[in-house]
Structure 1
Amino acid sequence: MSYTLVDAGVNLTNHQFDDEHLDVITRAKSAGVEKMLLIGCDLSSSEQSLALAKTYQLFSTAGIHPHDAKTATDSLESQLTLLANQPQVIAIGECGLDYNRDFSPRDIQRSVFRRQLALAEQLNLPVYLHERDASDDMINILSEFNVRGILHCFTGDENALKRYLALGLYIGITGWVCDERRGQALQSLIPSIPLNRLLIETDAPFLIPRTVKTKPKSRKNEPSLLPYICQTIAELYQLEPHVIAKQTTDNFYTVFGLETR
């Protein structure tokens, strides 16, 4: 492979990767994945992601996932600010709304989401967003703030896509697009995403691309499999994979302001 990639979303602190961080990163680099963004889903994983980003010269986020919104305390903003002061932390999140699982009450999800958006605005950092079955509330709340960022693991419909793009968001696409069973609707929307607003991510260890010919024995996804996602997206745009690779890499550095950070 003659191109390099950036994985815009990896859950490297997930227990499935315990004791193999270096191996995962080594395999990723061998597959052309030069950088990755390590996702924080609560304060603990945000701290762990930062530590890994420091060790392996990667990037990380700091935030509270809607599943964990009920754990947020009054000191959330000060705790996230301490993390965000580190140069490896390039976004606030993963934050947003999830009405599919409802692991946290919806009113608490909305409150904690607003708090993180306000903090991102204050710190002038992008947001790393999660949304499931909550696009109307999500879009209404986002419109209250002046933030930029990425809608992670987009699987919504055409209307939601148009509205997210209208807000200026970048769209993150995962291995969901490689699923010939449940990914057909997403596949049909891919050409509607402007190339300069596209990011690709594995969301490892979840959502292993079904196009992987020889599945790893562990059955878990990892950043080294990002080229399979790039290949599928390239086919949907009717472009060569290296074009998608370069554009999504450029987009990553643009949305996260890494030219000047």
Structure 2
Amino acid sequence: MLIDSHVNLHAPQFDEDREAVIARAREAGVGLMVNICDKLANYEKNRAVAEAPDIWCTVGVHPHEARETPDLAPQTLVAIAADPRVVGIGECGLDFHYDLSPRDVQAEVFRAHCAAARETGLPLVVHTREADDLMGDILEDEHGQGPFSILMHCYTSGHALAARADRLGAWFSVSGIATFKAAEDVRDVIRQMPADRIIVETDCPYLAPIPHRGRRNEPAYIAHVLAKVAEIRGWTLEEAETRTASAFFDLFQRIPRPSGSVA
């Protein structure tokens, strides 16, 4: 079974053919998808997609959107996460490349997510771009106040932050960026990731892998990401599928592990 750990199926890019996109994913062998929340104003649309039995969702505020909820309280996230279809907290974090929200606001909103992950026991889905030092500092500080599971989503930062996150027991997800010709630095980090804590994602509609680069991304393309992970790590395709699926269920523990799967 293929698993896409990070989709944005509620995005407007899918408004014209959402059901067809989901059908193509299923036809391609994708058995599970996690639809990721980008801001609270979109949560209901995000959650509606997760009415399907093979699609789950998260609740959170992307750093680009942090300016809309600068006083976000952890309890707001905790209350929404009581819904059993919610399996993670996020996508949240720091993005100092675009700075679409003030950096201090990003940091405070991110800390609220950390507190919610700690209280709910759900994994924290982390976005980080050009903020490695502060990201490492906040994760270590918040984790020191009480542990929680961490997913470094679409990881493209360097070895230093990866090592800090690894010491906290973090998982790492690999996206279509790993297939890009110029992404050798990303592939080098993937070679060093903990073998039992690697999962895959499309981040659709963004970051379509080769041979679909430049087009709208879809969950049906996740097999290309999985094949690249297998190549980078020196695994067979079957081994890559088994390893990443096991890591996925180890992380997203609210999602039932299929009977007969490897624990």
Same fold (TM over 0.5): yes
> C-alpha deviations, 1:200-253, integer Å up to 9, x for none?
0000000011234xx7xx920000000001111111112111211111111111
Alpha-carbon offset, residue 187 of structure 1: 1.3
Among candidates 6, 10, 13, match of residue 7 of structure 2: 10
Q: Of the candidates 13, 25, 28, which is equivalent to residue 25 of structure 2? A: 28
The corresponding residue for 1:156 is: 157
How far apart, CA to CA, are the structure 1 residues paired with 2:5 and 2:133?
Answer: 25
Q: Is the 8 A contact 2:64 2:95 kept in 1?
A: yes
Does the aligned pair in 2 maintain the 1:40–1:47 contact within 8 Å? no
- d(CA) in 1 for partners of 2:47 and 2:76? 13
Deviation at 1:81, TM superposition (A): 2.7
* Runs of 4+ that moved beyond 3 A: 73-79, 258-261
Specify whether residues 59 and 259 from structure 1 end up closer, same or farther in structure 2 by C-alpha distance, changes over 3 A only.
closer
Change in Cα spacing, 1:77 to 1:242, as seen in structure 2 (3 Å) is same
Tell me, yes or no, if structure 1 residue 206 matches structure 2 residue 206.
yes
Residues 152 and 170 in structure 2, CA contact (< 8 A), matched pair in contact too? yes
**1:41-190 map, 5 Å:** 41-72=38-69, 74=71, 76-145=73-142, 146-181=147-182, 183-190=183-190
What percent identity do the matched residue pairs reach? 34
Q: State the TM-score, normalized to the length of structure 1.
A: 0.91
Q: 1:111 Cα deviation (Å)?
A: 0.7
Residue of structure 2 in register with 1:230 after alignment: 226
Question: Structure 1 residues 127 and 58, CA, compared in 2 at 3 Å: closer, same or farther?
Answer: same
Q: What is the letter of the counterpart of residue 186 of structure 1? A: V
Task: Give the conservation status (yes or no) of the 8 Å contact 2:201–2:222.
Answer: yes
Return the alpha-carbon distance in structure 2 between the equivalents of residues 46 and 232 of structure 1: 32
**Unaligned stretches of 5+ residues in structure 1:** none
Amino acid of the residue matched to residue 226 of structure 2?
C
**Alpha-carbon displacement from aligned partner over 1:88-144 (angstroms, at most 9, x marks no partner):** 101110111111110000011111111111121112221110000111111111112
Unaligned ranges ≥5, structure 2: 258-263
CA distance 1:101–1:49, shift in 2 (3 Å): same
Structure 1 residue identity aligned to 2:168: L
Contact 1:5–1:246 (8 Å) recurs in 2: no
CA change 1:177–1:91 in 2 (3 A) is same
Query: Shift of the alpha carbon at 1:42?
Result: 0.2
Give the corresponding residue for 2:37. Answer: 40
Equivalent residues of 2:67, 2:102 under 8 A apart: yes
CA contact (8 A) 2:70 2:105 kept: no
Cα separation, 1, equivalents of 2:90 and 2:152: 11
Write the distance in 2 (CA, Å) between the matches of 1:211 and 1:236: 17
Residue in 1 that maps onto 2:261: none
> Cα distance, 1:186 vs. partner?
0.9
Counterpart amino acid of residue 35 in structure 2:
L
- State how far apart, in whole Å, the 1-side matches of 2:176 and 2:121 are: 30
